[in-house]
């Protein structure tokens, strides 16, 4: 009977792949992240990711007005106006992410999603299927982090354990003045180099 053998490198590769599949822990779930950014005169919130609800407890469906209240660790993104969303309890995390007491979003898109850190609950689309990916967004016209009372930073909320472990992150970072200064200096340097090159070319043509 003819036997087939794999070469030593090929066998080593196969064993490595098998070992990685058996020994490595399962990949973490794709967490959901809300990112707050200053875009021109407005503050824009973008959300994306999934929620694993197995480690949460469903409470009820309620109507809520989308907005932000950092002093309560509250952020709800949804189409503009009061919308029904499902409330899930069982999260842990910071009770606030700023001093603001409340502002209503100017516009929003996508399914409802949010967090209330002081009450340790999440808001999700009614009928949401655990693990389903989606995106949403909200815009606060003529606003800044300061006017909304949002303290820049990263705020993480977690729930579940083991295979049901998941998290939500609310994050917003204002570029440091030094970073803008470096950008400005770099721009001036490029402009200076461009002018010097044009002068050099002009002198060659004139000569």
Q: What is the pLDDT of residues 5-51, one digit of tens each?
A: 444 544 443 333 333 433 434 334 559 999 999 999 999 999 999 99
- Residue 168, CB half-sphere, CA atoms under 13 Å: how many? 32
164 shares its domain with 188: no
- Block means of pLDDT (10 residues each) for the chain, 207 residues, are 46 38 42 97 98 96 94 94 92 98 96 97 96 97 98 97 96 70 49 55 52
Q: Give the residue numbers spanning the domain of 192.
A: 176-207
Answer yes or no: do 115 and 195 share one domain: no
Q: Which residues pair with 60 in a beta bridge?
A: 87
Statement to judge: residues 169 and 201 lie in one domain: no
Residue 38 lies in a domain: yes
103 vs 75: CA distance, rounded Å: 10
Reported as type and span, the H/E element at residue 88 is: strand 83-89
Residue 50 lies in a domain: yes
Which residue, among 154, 83, 93, 150, has the nearest Cα to 120 in the 3D structure?
Answer: 93
Measured CA distances, 117 to 27, 62, 89, 96, 114 (Å): 26, 17, 10, 6, 10
The Cβ of residue 186 has, within 10 Å, a number of other Cβ atoms equal to: 10
Is the same domain home to 117 and 55?
yes
Q: Give the model's pLDDT for residue 197.
A: 58
| 167, 206: one domain | no
pTM (predicted TM-score):
0.73
Q: How many domains are contained in the chain? A: 2
């Amino acid at each position: 009977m003819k036997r087939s053998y794999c070469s030593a490198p090929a066998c080593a590769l196969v064993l490595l792949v098998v070992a990685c599949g058996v020994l490595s822990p399962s990949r973490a779930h794709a967490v959901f992240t809300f990112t707050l950014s200053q875009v021109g005169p407005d503050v824009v919130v973008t959300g994306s990711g999934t929620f694993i609800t197995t480690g949460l407890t469903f409470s009820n469906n309620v109507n809520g007005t989308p907005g932000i209240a950092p002093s309560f660790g509250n952020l709800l993104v949804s189409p503009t106006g009061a919308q029904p969303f499902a409330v899930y309890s069982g999260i842990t995390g910071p009770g606030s992410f700023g001093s603001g007491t409340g502002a209503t979003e100017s516009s929003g898109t996508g399914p409802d999603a949010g967090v209330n850190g002081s009450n340790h609950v999440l808001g999700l689309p009614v009928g949401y299927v655990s693990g389903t990916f989606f995106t949403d967004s909200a815009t606060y016209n003529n606003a800044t982090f300061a006017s909304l009372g949002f303290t820049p930073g990263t705020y993480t909320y977690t729930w579940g354990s083991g295979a049901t472990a998941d998290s939500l992150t609310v994050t917003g970072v204002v570029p440091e003045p030094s970073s803008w200064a470096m950008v400005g200096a770099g721009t001036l340097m490029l402009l200076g180099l461009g002018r010097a090159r044009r002068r050099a070319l002009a002198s060659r043509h004139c000569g």
